[in-house]
Each structure stands twice: as structure tokens, then as C-alpha cells.
Amino acid sequence: MKFEKTQVSNFEGAFRGMRNPLNSWDKSDSKWNTLQIGANDMGLAQRLIQAGPEHMKFMRQIFVCVDITAPLYWWKEFDTYKVGTTANSTSTMHKLTSYPITTEMFEWDGKLTMYEEAIMDMCEDLRQRYVETKDQDYWRALVQILPEAWLQTRTVTLSYANLRTIYFQRRNHKLKEWSNNFCDWVKTLPYAEELIMLEDK
């Protein structure tokens, strides 16, 4: 599982809007050209986060874009998070037969078992038959038996609010792709510990 090309944006706009309800912009003490959140701004942000989702609206305005390469079995769970997230994926339909199918295209744990090797060999055989004949039956069979371990890349956009929800719901998940990989990536984001991972009172 990989996380690449992470971009985080709109801290300044989110924190400016955070102060709109009380017209308290003069109390802002952050530096946005170097992204240094001041004590006043952080204190207000954390109070709003701990007051609940309806008060931490500013977190919805801090945006994250990232390329995630993950197995299909993980993407099926990620797809439960529909509100406030968007993803564009590489196309299995269009590109599945373009390259030889190899072990690097799957999320296998440790040494391949004979069953995993057999599935991979079967996929490659069907791919080759389709490339040689253009017979749609081979392509359809390949799509139908493609294992859940198949890796797919998606460019995903989310907000700090989305990430906070996902982090607390998945940090102890039995799938290591959640509890290790995803949560470890979240920890690398700017001010993740102070905002995304902040524990409720």
C-alpha cells in the first residue's frame, strides 16, 4: 500500500472562517506563508473540535489530495466514506490487459502460496489469450476472477474532518492497511496530532 503526491491546502482560509462567528480575526496569531499555527488559533480550533462536529466546520475546509495504491479489498471498505470525499481511479476496464500480470500488481502477504501463484498465472493466461484473440470472453473471465488483492491507484480528495472520522473509526482495525498504513500516513499530515488525532474530552 502506498501514499504518494500528498498535498494539503487551505489552512489559512479555514482558520479565517473559523473566526467569522465572533468577528475575532484580530486574535489570529498564525503565520500562513510558513504554516505556523499560533497558540490563540490552535486553542480555538481545539475547543471547537472538542465541542463536536457541528462546531468544527473549519476542519471541512482543510483539504488533502493524495494518490493511494491499495488492494481492492481495502477500497471496498474505503468506499463507505462517501460524504465529502472524491476519488478517480486507474481503469481496470481499460488497462487490465495492457501489461503482463506480475506479483507487484497484488497485495500479497509474505511468500506466495501455491494458490496465489495459480490465480496469478490464470489471470496472466487469460490476459495473453485476450491480447492474441481479442475474444471478449477471455477479458470477461479475467475481470470476473481478478483477486481482491489486486492493487488499484486512486487520486483521492478529503478534508481534515473526513480524516478525523476515519482515523478514530479505523485506528484499531484488524486490517493492517487501516491500523498501520492509513493511520500512519494520517500522522504525517501537518498538525495531524493537534487537529485530526485530538482526543475528545
Is there a contact between 159 and 84 (Cβ–Cβ < 8 Å)?
Answer: yes
Domain ranges of the chain: 2-88+152-196, 97-145
Separation of alpha carbons 78 and 138, rounded Å: 30
Report whether pLDDT(32) > 90: yes
Q: How high is the pLDDT of residue 95?
A: 78
Is there a contact between 152 and 75 (Cβ–Cβ < 8 Å)?
Answer: yes
CATH topology of domain 2-88+152-196: Gyrase A; domain 2 (3.30.1360)
pLDDT tens, residue by residue, 73-117: 999 999 988 777 888 887 676 678 889 998 889 988 767 788 888
How many other C-beta atoms are found inside a 10 Å radius of the C-beta of residue 98?
9
Q: Report, as an integer, the average pLDDT of 123-143.
A: 95
CB burial of residue 201 (10 Å; 0-12, 13-18, 19+): exposed
Structure pTM? 0.89
How many other C-beta atoms are found inside a 10 Å radius of the C-beta of residue 41?
19
User: What is the DSSP-derived secondary structure letter of residue 153?
Assistant: E
